Amino acid sequence: MSAKGLVLLISGPNLNLLGEREPEVYGTATLDDHVAAAAAAADERDLDLEHVQSNHEGDLVEAIQGARGRAVAIVINAGALSHTSWSLHDALAAFDGVVVELHISNPAAREPFRHVSTIAPVADGCIAGFGGLGYPLAIEAVDRILAARS
């Protein structure tokens, strides 16, 4: 375990298809590419990174619950569940570390149903619309928030 702790990176439904699915919206980088960028950013900041991807909402809830008392932060790209999942909201509300919501695209510039996030009310902040750059930016945000709280 690193000196600063563990960051849990959560990827929701359909993110396993990054690089293939709608490259005009999400780019050509794969989920593995994004996780590698986040891991490199975490390593630079003496943070450990663990990644979980699932197409099943309950698996994501269990991952969040499992992070309680174990992780200092959660970075979550919940995909479409960001706009519909009150169970993710409730699980994140019970987590006492830093929470950063992450989106590759900019939901505010897309379909109206994407304009509201169920995660935003329980997140410290949101990084959206920067493509793959959002992953290292989210790790940097976690590191800065942790430093400000210590």
Helix (H) or strand (E) holding 52: strand 48-53
Catalytic residue, from 34, 51, 89, 103: name it.
103
On whether the pTM is more than 0.85, the answer is yes
Judge whether 108 lies within some domain: yes
Q: Is 135 a catalytic residue?
A: no
Given this model, what pLDDT does residue 109 score? 61
Residue 120 Cα distances to 9, 24, 58, 88, 150, angstroms: 16, 25, 19, 11, 23
Judge whether 132 lies within some domain: yes
Q: Is 26 a catalytic residue?
A: yes
CATH number of the domain to which 128 belongs? 3.40.50.9100
Catalytic residue, from 26, 51, 89, 135: name it.
26
Judge whether 58 lies within some domain: yes
Judge whether 69 lies within some domain: yes
pLDDT along the chain (150 residues), means of 10: 89 92 76 98 98 98 98 96 94 98 82 81 96 97 96
Given this model, what pLDDT does residue 28 score? 79
Given this model, what pLDDT does residue 3 score? 81
Number of domains in the chain: 1
Judge whether 14 lies within some domain: yes
Q: Where are the alpha helices (DSSP H) in 45-127?
A: 57-67, 86-93
Judge whether 62 lies within some domain: yes
**Residue 121: domain span:** 6-149
